Amino acid sequence: MNINVFKAGCIATLCATVLSACTKNLDRLPTNDITSEVVYSTSAGYKQAFAKVYGAYALTGNQGPAGNGDVQGIDEGTSDFLRLHWWAQEISTDEAVVQAGWGDPGIHFFHNMTWSPNNEILTGLYYRSFYQITLANDFIRQAAEDKVASRGISGASADSIKTYKTEARFIRAFQYWVLMDLFGNPAFVTENDVLGASVPKQTTRAELFKYIETELKDIEGSLVAPRQNEYGRADKAAAWALLARMYLNAEVYTGSPRYNDAITYAKKVIDAGYTLVGDYRQLMLADNQLNKNEFILTINYDGQKTQSFGGTTFLTHAPMGGSIPTGSYGVNSGWAGVRTTKNLPGLFPDATGAADKRAQFYTNGQSLELSAEPAPKFEEGYAVLKYKNIKRDGTAGSSLAHSDIDFPLFRLAEMYLIYAEAVLRGGTGGDLGTALGYINQLRTRAYGNTSGNITAADLTTRFILDERARELYWECFRRTDLVRYNFFTTDAYLWPWKGGVSSGTGVASYRNVFPIPTADITANRNLKQNTGY
């Protein structure tokens, strides 16, 4: 099984111990008789509460796959973190389109870039991130040394709680990165804010960048050494990886480039002993918990124990339709939902994957062209079959209805790409030869030999952008990458139906960030809407 004890424990109804972050102003206490004093009275209670902090990544509620959802005001099936983050990062770009009639409210405004502050997907993502932040805040508050000691917990149990607290701080930092990246200037709360005493203040993107950076560096020394923690839990390398990702995008977030730091922290991860999985097509399979050498931090899924209609269940079922034989991919049905535009397969020498095996498209009966957006029939646009709920031996996962595929939040390949791009953008502390070597490691894996390797003359920032698409497509990177290259809203790079035009068009630059949801603006007098909305 690819699920650890912390994921298994998160079914417990422990959300009663925390703020109900899905409410409008993030300060409403839940109506439940189980209080913090009860839950945190034992070391076992701390462990269960910690499980919920991690479990909020993978689950949508305490019952699963539906019923008793965490985030109110949005259908529980679409309230999953990964599904919401994927919509925001992929469907707004050239990497994904959605079927006409798809049921997720608000989804059809993304590809043509007409979303508003009332968009249900954006509201759900904003509150899902704050839900996990709130869980983390409460755990951090309850894990203060004086509180732990006052409950008679000492020795090894107290030491474990201290470790859990550090990881909760990482999870909070990660979710604040999500909010900073997508929404720019969100509300801001920590464990020091008194519950119900006031509404949260707003932070700026630059201030939030500094906060996340400071938090990660502060906990770096307390996190478990790279590759020594339980699978699916954060360690030092996860903190380094998030810092490297942030520093690569620092100019977007703060106005000041930090490419030197991006190189430094990417190299810390690279030097920590990670190696690439030999076969790219084994990255997203039902037994991909075997990919520990490449995966730095994952969201763990199990078809029996983490059932929802989000996560990698969404990423396996939603691309299935048309003539695709669903049983061959370990699922019991196709949702006939998402495909890609012609831009993505156009980055590969052959969409069948005969040369570059990272190309995992279903082309039988599918056309490249889209007659409209949203696409009127599933057969328009190539299907993407990167996520397969089958194991390396070809057998299906533990459930045909829910996926066993773990989702990597960070993996080694991204660090290679960060290092190379930061060097090309003028960062010091690295060198072009090493960058070229990292890229050719990715391409040697992709081609199975050195036939796809490039020379130093081929290595440009634009090549890196295309290589990131080839390596990382459908892994929640594309919007952020296009924003960094100033391609997301401008007419410098177009894709079918960008901006609602068949050949693509530029849109207003304020859409490089999403709006703060109207629900939070209305409830919180401290918040000011992002420019343009």
Taking all residues of the chain, what is their mean pLDDT, rounded to a whole number? 92
Tokens of 174: 């990660």
pLDDT band at 34 (very low <50, low <70, confident <90, very high): low
φ, ψ dihedrals at 371, nearest 5°? -75, -20
Average pLDDT in the 23-47 region?
Answer: 66
DSSP class per residue in 346-385: GGSS-TT-SSSTT--EE-TT-BS--SSSSBSSTTBS-EE-
DSSP class per residue in 430-448: --HHHHHHHHHHHHHHHHS
Q: Is the per-residue pLDDT at 4 higher than 90?
A: no
Start-end of H helices in 184-306: 205-220, 236-248, 250-254, 259-270
Higher-confidence residue of 515 and 2: namely 515
Q: What is the spatial distance between Cα 46 and Cα 39, in angstroms, rounded to a whole number?
A: 7
Which pLDDT score is estimated for 62? 75
Please report, for the chain, the start and end positions of each structural domain, with discontinuous segments joined by +.
5-254+515-523
Cis bond upstream, residue 65 (ω within 30): yes
DSSP 530: P
Residue-wise pLDDT tens digits, 96-147: 999 998 988 999 999 999 999 999 999 999 999 999 999 999 999 999 999 9
Secondary structure element (H or E) that encloses residue 271, with its range: none
Report yes or no: 141 and 176 within 8 Å, Cβ to Cβ. no
Residue-wise pLDDT tens digits, 327-381: 999 999 999 999 999 999 999 999 999 999 999 999 999 999 999 999 999 999 9
Q: What is the spatial distance between Cα 379 and Cα 366, in angstroms, rounded to a whole number?
A: 5
Which pLDDT score is estimated for 80? 93
Q: How many other C-beta atoms lie within 10 A of the C-beta of residue 528?
A: 11
Q: What is the spatial distance between Cα 523 and Cα 505, in angstroms, rounded to a whole number?
A: 35
73: closest CA among 133, 118, 138? 118
Q: What is the spatial distance between Cα 282 and Cα 292, in angstroms, rounded to a whole number?
A: 12
Please give the span between the terminal C-alpha atoms of the chain, in angstroms, as a whole number. 46
pLDDT band at 301 (very low <50, low <70, confident <90, very high): very high
Residues 371-390 as b/e (b if ≥16 CB within 10 A, e otherwise) read eebbbeebbbbbbbbbbbbb
Q: What is the spatial distance between Cα 7 and Cα 360, in angstroms, rounded to a whole number?
A: 30
Contacts of 222 (CB under 8 A, 6+ apart): 162, 163, 166
Q: What is the spatial distance between Cα 84 and Cα 107, in angstroms, rounded to a whole number?
A: 10
Q: What is the largest CA-CA distance in the chain?
A: 67
Which pLDDT score is estimated for 13? 31
Q: What is the spatial distance between Cα 90 and Cα 465, in angstroms, rounded to a whole number?
A: 15
Which pLDDT score is estimated for 78? 79
Report yes or no: 140 and 170 within 8 Å, Cβ to Cβ. no
Tokens of 16: 């009663």
Nearest 5°: CA angle at 82, between 86 and 316? 80
54-58, 168-172, 229-233, 341-345: which range is least confident on average?
Answer: 54-58
Q: What is the spatial distance between Cα 122 and Cα 160, in angstroms, rounded to a whole number?
A: 36
16-25, 47-56, 313-322, 399-408: which range is least confident on average?
Answer: 16-25
Q: Domain 5-254+515-523 maps to which CATH number in 3.40.50.620, 3.20.20.70, 2.40.340.10, 1.25.40.390?
A: 1.25.40.390
DSSP class per residue in 50-65: HHHHHHHHH-SBSSSS
